[in-house]
Amino acid sequence: MSKTILITGVGKRIGLSLAKHFMAQGHKVIGTYRRHYQSIDELKKLGASLYQCDLNSPLAIEGLIANMLEQHPRLDTVIHNASDWLADPTDSDDLSPNEVMSRMLQVHVTAPYQLNLALAPLLIQSALAHNHTSATQIGASNIIHITDYVAEKGSKKHIAYAASKAALHNMTLSFAAKLAPNVKVNSIAPAMILFNEQDDLAYKVKTLAKSILPKEAGSQEIIALVEYIQTSHYVTGRSFAVDGGRHLM
């Protein structure tokens, strides 16, 4: 059965791969992006409904919510993939500690919080309307938070980022309890999934050495896990680590 899936941050990397995957399966994809990339034009040609939305702006989020409620009466899954990554400031940086923390919390906590609260009725309605028995209604809709390995480990150079991702995981627990039984809410906590084009060999070697499974995982690892979460009707309030066994090093 075709689903309607909202993915934040579809311009590149995991968000882009998820969007392409679901559209190839015949699902309706609604995506957000902050900056325009060539991939945005590609997704539009494939049929995605895309909204430019800077999650640092509460007004932009309110606009996105209004568009969702007005134009998309069905919603089966929300994937909070959009992310920002700022190092903690030093004396020479332009941003203050307060600005860095505020930005990390806005993107990783406040924006998902607003969207979850506003779109929950659509998710519940979809679970009830498109399933014919009470058994199939249970866990039929989904919210998935993409957190990070450092949410549990912490980070010496990205304290604000790690703290905001930990808060996002905590919201997984709260929303899982609040929206049960029709909506499952889970987290995916990746470590190193994809290298960037500018990453040099020395960086790659150093990064791979942090895991007992020293390889670049690739987007397919996340896609497969998202598919599992969506099809399961008995898993909620959990965080799934995709980190190559870093905790065992």
* Residues with a known catalytic role: 161
Dist. CA 90–CA 109, nearest whole Å: 24
Sequence-ordered strand ranges (E) for 97-170: 141-146
Cα separation, 102 vs 164, whole angstroms: 9
Residue 201: is it exposed, middle or buried by C-beta count within 10 angstroms (0-12/13-18/19+)? exposed
For residue 149, what are the CA distances in angstroms to 77, 141, 190, 242, 244?
23, 25, 5, 8, 10
Q: Could you give the 3-state DSSP secondary structure of residue 112?
A: helix
Here the tokens at position 214 are 């020293």
